Amino acid sequence: MSIDETPSTPPTAPESRFALNEDWAATLLGLLLLGLVLLGVIPTGLVP
Amino acid sequence: MTTDATRATDPSAPTDAAATPTADPATPRADAATPAVDAATPAADAAVETRPDQAVESRPGPTDRAGEARSDQAVETRPDPTGPPLVPAGPRAGAFWAWTGLGLLIVLGLAALTRYLEQNVPVFAEGTALEDIAAAIEYPVYAIVLGLLGNAAVTLSGLRDRIAAAFRTEFFIKTGLVLLGASINLAVIASAAGPAIAQAVLLISGVFLFTWWLAGRLGLDDKLRALLASAVSICGVSAAIAAAGAVRARREQLAYAASLVIVFALPSIFILPWLADVLGLEPAVAGAWIGGNIDTTAAVTAAGALAGEEALQIASIVKVTQNALMGVVAVALTAYFTLRVERQAGAARPKLVELWHRFPKFVLGFIAASVIATWYLDAAGSDGKATIAVVNDLRVWFLILAFVSIGLEVRVTALREAGWRPVAVFASATVFNLLLALGLASLLFRDFAA
């Protein structure tokens, strides 16, 4: 069956909240790492 | 959002219930009445293929309250509709985490090898005929090539689908982009915002309408038209997933659109920086062209990194701007399909709050990192640059993880059954996007200065 013909499987649901949570997780992790570097917790030379 | 749609709905994916954690009957995905978010894994696909059509047609519509409630419950424990395998309940959870841990080790190992090669190959090649070539190869090349080799290895060994939950390209790239914000002065973002928004609006409108029109001329299904048009005009797989939710496209359509995005993005990573060099584009124009043309954010970042630091910064700003407009398109598509294509009596109009729900939140982190780093550098002076260099090292690690994951995720089998028309539409739209983006970037970013 071609991809654009009669449906055989159900439709996708509206975008789930997990995608949004992944966005927030990436944001928080990125800002946390930035904060740790600026505070000196992750010093120069530690990251290879 | 991930590119896992390809993996999740690939017909070649294993359907062995014993080997697939999501086949656990205790999980909600085994329930035929559960909304489609739960049916994204190979195991669920196998279950769906055997379902009677009645079960499919009896699914709740987008405005069905009960369906919404079940969907909300479902997403508490599972990733997006095309995400990697879900966390299974019961005794299989241990095996799931063990396989995912192994997958993470593989991703990290390949990333470490990438970093090692990037730093040492030029040293090893010094004084040889390969010196110039070795010096020109940057980390995206090593990462993607190693990811592809790893892909072949885990596919041949039968491990791929078990460890696929570790291939979190989108999470890695979003974290990398937040960290990238720290290396971009707020003044650059402020200066680039105007032309970036103008380019994004014109480009998204032009490419979306062209793709929609061409796909209609070739007789493609309206939902596939929406997916392809969103994917090629906005930001690849993320946009395709948002559009799939908006128009309630079928999972194989989403998998197909995602596969097209990845297959077209991979060569673009290398071709566009090369073309920008051949055409003699200024770094800002090259960055705006790359950011406006390549579909996936990860691929934009890889190509931008190959084109240089300034090009990378502008490409990222342009791409992030397009990401931010994804919500607008998703809401417009929801309205169009609800009110025009699939008229439903009493269907609720999409609410404006959907704009916020669909807004990519990492954009806020990107801007916040720029604000914080700009303030820090103003306060710390030149001493602060060494500190920001550490942030840049972390950023490179996350980008490498994302590029390795791209290589590991590529799967072309989903394209085989689709026929030539969607490929023709996507290829034509890509060429149209290439030319329109070049024109707009040359116009809007000529003589760009922060």
User: Which SS3 state, helix, strand or coil, does residue B198 take?
Assistant: helix
B447 or B113, which is more confident: B113
Nearest to B178 by CA among B404, B384, B392: B392
Q: Inform me whether the C-beta atom of residue B161 falls under 8 Å from chain A C-beta atoms.
A: no
For the cut 80, the answer to whether the pLDDT of residue B63 exceeds it is no
* Residue B112, CA distances (Å) to A48, B49, B116, B124 in order: 9, 40, 6, 17
Min Cα separation B411/chain A (Å) = 17
Token output for B379: 């306060």
Average pLDDT, chain B: 76
Round to whole Å and give the CA distance between B139 and B47. Answer: 41
DSSP annotation of B379 reads H
Average the pLDDT over B278-294 and give the result: 93
Predicted pLDDT of residue B383: 81
pLDDT at B24 over 60: no
Q: What is the DSSP letter of B340?
A: I
pLDDT tens, B357-396?
777 788 889 889 999 999 999 998 878 889 999 999 999 9
Whole-number pLDDT of residue B450: 58
Dist CA B283 CA A36 (whole Å): 32
Q: Which of residues 268-327 of B touch A (CB under 8 A)?
A: none
Task: Please name the residues between 43 and 102 in chain B that touch chain A, using a CB distance below 8 Å.
Answer: 45, 48-49, 56, 59, 62, 67, 71-72, 74-76, 78-83
Q: What pLDDT sits at residue B111?
A: 96
Most confident of the following: B83-87, B320-324, B413-417: B320-324
Q: Which two tokens stand for residue B199?
A: 């380019």
The closest CB to that of A12, out of B2, B81, B171, belongs to B81
Mention every residue, 6+ apart, whose C-beta is less than 8 A from residue B335.
Answer: B349, B350
Q: Which of A12-16, B239-243, B294-298, B317-321 has the lowest mean pLDDT?
A: A12-16
Q: Which of B7-21, B68-82, B334-348 has the highest mean pLDDT?
A: B334-348
Predicted pLDDT at B249: 80
Selecting from B253, B365, B387 the residue whose C-beta is nearest the C-beta of A30 gives B365
Q: How confident is the model at residue B130 (pLDDT cuts 50, 70, 90)?
A: confident
3-state helix, strand, coil in chain B (%, to 5): 75, 0, 25
Q: Which two tokens stand for residue B160?
A: 């791929």
Q: Do B224 and A42 touch (CB under 8 A)?
A: no
Per-residue CA distances from B120 to B116, B207, B268, B407 (Å): 6, 42, 26, 22
- Which of A9, A12, A26 is opposite residue B362, by nearest beta carbon? A26
Distance from CA of B410 to the nearest CA of A (A): 19
**Predicted local distance difference test score (pLDDT) of residue B82:** 43
Residue partners of B223: CB distance under 8 A and separation at least 6? A11, B244, B247, B248, B249, B250, B253, B337
Band of residue B42 on the pLDDT scale cut at 50, 70, 90: very low
- The better pLDDT of the pair B86, B412 is held by B412
Residues 196-215 of B with CB under 8 A from A: none
| pLDDT of B247 over the 60 cut | yes
For residue A19, pLDDT over 90 is answered with no
B449 burial (CB, 10 Å; 0-12 / 13-18 / 19+) is exposed
pLDDT at B207: 94
A27: pLDDT strictly greater than 90: yes
Checking if the pLDDT of B78 tops 60, the result is no
B422 touches chain A (CB under 8 A): yes
Closest-CA distance of chain A to residue B130, Å: 25
CA distance B409 to B298: 13
Q: Cβ(B299)–Cβ(B214) under 8 Å?
A: no
According to the model, what pLDDT value does residue B89 have? 58
Residue B348's pLDDT band, with cuts at 50, 70 and 90, is low
pTM over 0.80: no
Which pair of structure tokens corresponds to residue B411? 């799967």
Confidence band for B272, pLDDT divided at 50, 70 and 90: very high
Q: Which amino acid is at B240?
A: A
Provide the percentage of residues in chain B whose pLDDT is more than 90.
33
Hey, what amino acid is at B416? R
Burial class (CB in 10 A: 0-12, 13-18, 19+), B351: exposed
Interface predicted TM-score (ipTM) over 0.85: no
pLDDT over 50 (residue B55): no
Give the least confident one: B248-262, B310-324, B426-440.
B248-262
CB atoms within 10 A of CB B348: 9
Distance CA B169, CA B236 (A): 13
Task: With both helix axes pointing from N to C terminus, report the angle between B297-307 and B283-293 in degrees, rounded to the nearest 10.
Answer: 160
Give start and end residues of each alpha helix (H) in B248-325.
251-278, 283-293, 297-307, 309-324
Question: What's residue B8's pLDDT?
Answer: 37
